[in-house]
Chains A and B, each alone.
Chain A
Amino acid sequence: MTSTPPEPPRTATGYAPFAHLTAPNAPLYRRVMSAFLVAKERFAVHLRPEDVYAALAPEHRPADPDAVATALDRLVGWGNLRADPDTSRVTAVEDFYRKRFIYQLTRAGEAAEQALSVYDEALGRRGALQAVALHDIVTQLKTLVVIAEEPDAAKAHLALSTLTARFEALAENARAFMGSLQRTIDLHDVDIEVFLAYKDRLIQYLERFIQDLITLGGRIAALIGELEDDDRVGALLRLAAAREAADAAPDEADSAEARAYERWTAKWSGLAAWFVSADGRESQARLLRGRALGAIPQLLAVVRQLNERRAGRSDRSADFRALARWFAEAPDDAARHRLWRAAFGLYPARHLTVDAATLDGRTARPVPASTSWAGAEPLRISPQLRRTGSYERRGKARRVQDRSAQRRHLAEIAARQTEEIAAARARLATGGTTRLSALGELDPLAFRLFLQLLGDALATWRPDTRTTTATSNDGTMEIRLTALSDGTTAEIRTPGGVFRGPDHTVEITPAEGRR
């Protein structure tokens, strides 16, 4: 294998050093490349195939050293490595006849590895909430307050630089953290054990950070406010900008200072916006706090879900699989039926019946409990049933009776009654105050309604009452009754006789509208 001379790097695409990522055996290629990187950290530049083979972790090492040699040649082909003839001594003849090479990273290969490590880091990043950064920010702000008393360009620049560096790190991490938190909580492809271990730490971590954010966030906001009073921070920013611009080329000096100042103010306002809510816009710190707090219940929900999955599902599933085995191994069908009954309990109760006649007979002539079944009177079986196997005579199929005619009749009666009552009500309505004596003749239905109304009204009558108002029991009519002092008598004629009594004025109104 090693006898084929390494090809020169292909430069046609320009990105050939990334080709190994998509080739078969990509993991091996990446491990080989990382062996070179590790070696480079130890300032070893050249590696022989056997060195590379030894450097691979035992569990990833291919069985055949030649596989590594092949991989090296392929990498040379893509331009990641450079191969040089190996001129060292050998101790075996066959080694001598074999063409040997030593390998080193090319610049392209090294650059590709760097790019890949940045890529990995960005993807693998969990993000962190830096409580320490908050402390540093407080310290730096305090320093700035002190410097603002006696402005000094060098000190101001240093403090501001440190402050912004810490702040940028904090903001960047917080952003990454929120992203990774969501990914974790969504529980895609997360190993349960890993998650459960992570959960406790995460909750503690969130709690600590939230505490710091609450206490330190307030102090930071206060310090920022203090610095912004009388634009003291403006002076500091200008000093820092001037110091930065001092290094600029002479022809750019003026504009450089203005640009530096602009940059510093932007950074400062970013910092202020992070910790101080203003103009109806919530500060980032507050948002982050909300987000971190909100993460806890979400996390608990995931934990619950996991617990369900563990406690409920898997165990039950194992139970059913065990039962499947038992059913398979049971000696016979009868045993299986017994197992079904015991395990699932889905059977109906089963009882002998007794008919009313037999029961009555027993109540009349109770049988002592020591009577045997054979000694007691047997169940009375219908002779018809005994003879034919049916309670009914044959040929007379029992049919469902059609009761729609009766039903219609009942509906008609109900409708007619409703109508009559409505008519009677209409007849009673006086449409204004009138005398009882003026009611004239009433049919029995209307008279019955009238009597009910009168009864309802008189029920409210007290010794000194002259006038009363009552609503009928069913709430459909209202009666207003006033006693008259002229001593006249009212007569209401009905087909059943004449109703007499002291005359009153009366007003009867349907109350339907008010129901």
Chain B
Amino acid sequence: MTASLGEVLEGRRTAEFHKAARALLKEPLLLADGPQADEFRLVRRHAGDLRDWFDRNTGWPLRVDAEAARLGRTPGTLADATHPAREASRARVPFTRRRYVLLCLALAALERGEAQIALGRLAEQVVLDAADPHLAAAGIAFTLERRDERLDLAAVVRLLLRHGVLRRVAGDEDAYVSGAGDVLYDVRRRVLAGLLAARRGPSLITAEGFEERLAELTAESALDSDELRFRAIRQRLTRRLLDDPVLYYAELTDEELAYLTRQRAFIAARITELTGLVAEVRAEGIAMVDPMDDLTDVRMPEQGTHGHVTLLLAEHLAASDSTVSREELESRVRELAVEHGGFWSKNARQPGAEGELVELALAKLTALGLVAVVPGGVAPLPALARYAVGETVVKESPRKAQQQ
């Protein structure tokens, strides 16, 4: 009786622990009063264990207070460009250069400012800061008088609202964009203070080249003993396995590969213990796959026209073992449209939609580490073979018909 009760409680605790850890991995900044208030409470309950785990295995600091939980994540690789800041609307458009710059200028103004701010005032300060000669030299200028500039600022502010840095008190951004009104916000200084996750303050970095800046931003302090170096390697590998869909051995340095070969089972077990992810170990690399299918922002397979096209193109690419050109993919989409088009959305069936469909599918496959865009087309990566069906099918195979 007591044993089974203990097991039940332990099982519940593990489930809760997984849920809390997954919440932080999905959204490293959780608000007590945001849409993930329940997850926040879980994180708070398990804060001690989570902090220990992340600190030891990834070196990511976890800060939890009454208002917010923030996991200070640093990516295991700096090469991944598939995680842009996105507009907080349904379209989720990636940020542009102007928006990134505006975002930073707005944050700088908020840092200096008081506990409340109006959007109009924020705009004035951004315009003042944008007069920085370096920005001017880079060809950036803001007047925030044109509508599209105001739209950019509104997108930036909505991102800050989503992350809880600002809280809307009165008014709305649309009125500001159309020049008919202003918006008042509370500034949550604590959330703001934890927004930057860089190990070093960018203002202290003097490097001029982009890559050097990026490297210094995330540089660990001096690793002058073997123990520290090994720990750094383990943390880097764990970070990649926690964050990224597939870790290919080919991307690792010799030292990293040697360490991973020795410690693979151990590292994977720690990750499973935290998240419930399962290691899929293959000759080419490791993927931590998710039986619960929710620890991701890009799904595969997925329902809907785009998901379907992606899946079918993935099969097509998996069947070919060399680079496939974009034209070939587009013509393949036209073929597929004949066969499956009846299930697709109207837009996707229209002639000329292939380009966009291929583009979207490739974006997903790239984000998932399944293909790489190379000069001359698209190269399949080993893990894409997960999506191969026995033979390339144009017609439905009898086996499948039976299963259905």
Contact = CB atoms under 8 A, between A and B. Distances in A.
B327 interface: no
B237 interface: no
B149 to A, nearest CB: 15
Given A319-B201, A373-B282, A389 B340 contact: yes
B270 interface: no
Residue with the highest number of chain B CB atoms closer than 10 Å, among A324, A330, A335, A375 = A324
A318 B303 CA distance: 45
A381 B387 contact: yes
Interface in B135-170: 135, 138-140, 163
Dominant SS among interface residues on chain A: helix
A345 B280 CA distance: 26
A322 B108 CA distance: 9
B284 interface: yes
Interface string B375-404: 000000011111111100000100011011
Interface in B194-227: 195-198, 201-203, 205, 210, 213-214, 217-218
Contacts of A386: 301, 311-312, 389, 400
B24 to A, nearest CB: 9
A15 B347 CA distance: 86
Interface string A307-339: 000001111111111111111111101111111
A345 B196 CA distance: 8
Interface stretch (A24-32, A150-158, A346-354, A438-446): A346-354
Contact of B283 (A324, A371, A382): A371
Residue with the highest number of chain A CB atoms closer than 10 Å, among B85, B193, B384 = B85
Contact of B280 (A316, A346, A354, A388): A354
Contacts of B281: 369
B193 A316 contact: yes
Contacts of A312: 111, 193
Given A351-B277, A378-B389, A384-B404, A324 B129 contact: yes
Contacts of B343: 387-390, 394
Given A317-B111, A320-B104, A354 B297 contact: no
Task: Classify chain A's interface size.
Answer: 35 or more
Given A322-B205, A345-B197, A373-B386, A381 B311 contact: yes
Given A333-B94, A389-B303, A346 B290 contact: no
A507 B364 CA distance: 77
B299 A353 contact: yes
Given A331-B210, A338-B78, A388-B343, A378 B283 contact: no
A325 B312 CA distance: 42
B243 A347 contact: yes
Given A347-B243, A352-B287, A372-B284, A342 B112 contact: no
Given A340-B84, A344-B195, A354 B289 contact: yes
Given A324-B104, A335-B81, A372-B284, A317 B290 contact: no
A472 B140 CA distance: 80
Interface in A344-371: 344-356, 359, 369-371
Interface in B277-334: 277-278, 280-284, 287-291, 293, 295-301, 303-305, 307-309, 311-312, 318
Contacts of B400: 383, 386-387
A197 interface: no
Contacts of A354: 278, 280, 289-291
B68 interface: no
A341 interface: yes
B235 interface: no
B104 A351 contact: no
Contacts of A381: 301, 311, 387, 389
A386 to B, nearest CB: 7
A274 B264 CA distance: 81
Given A342-B214, A352-B290, A376-B282, A320 B111 contact: yes
Contacts of A336: 84, 95, 97, 100
B59 interface: no
Contacts of B105: 320-321, 324
A374 interface: yes
A385 interface: yes
A371 B282 contact: yes
Nearest to A343: B198
A25 to B, nearest CB: 32
Residue with the highest number of chain A CB atoms closer than 10 Å, among B29, B73, B284 = B73
A315 B101 contact: no
Given A317-B112, A354-B280, 10 more contacts: A324-B104, A326-B202, A350-B296, A350-B368, A352-B383, A373-B382, A373-B383, A385-B311, A389-B309, A390-B308
Interface of A: 312-331, 333-356, 359, 369-376, 378-379, 381-391, 394
List the 3 closest pairs (A to B, CB-CB), nearest first.
Answer: A389-B308, A345-B197, A324-B104
10 contacts: A316-B111, A319-B201, A337-B85, A344-B85, A345-B73, A348-B83, A352-B245, A381-B387, A383-B400, A383-B404
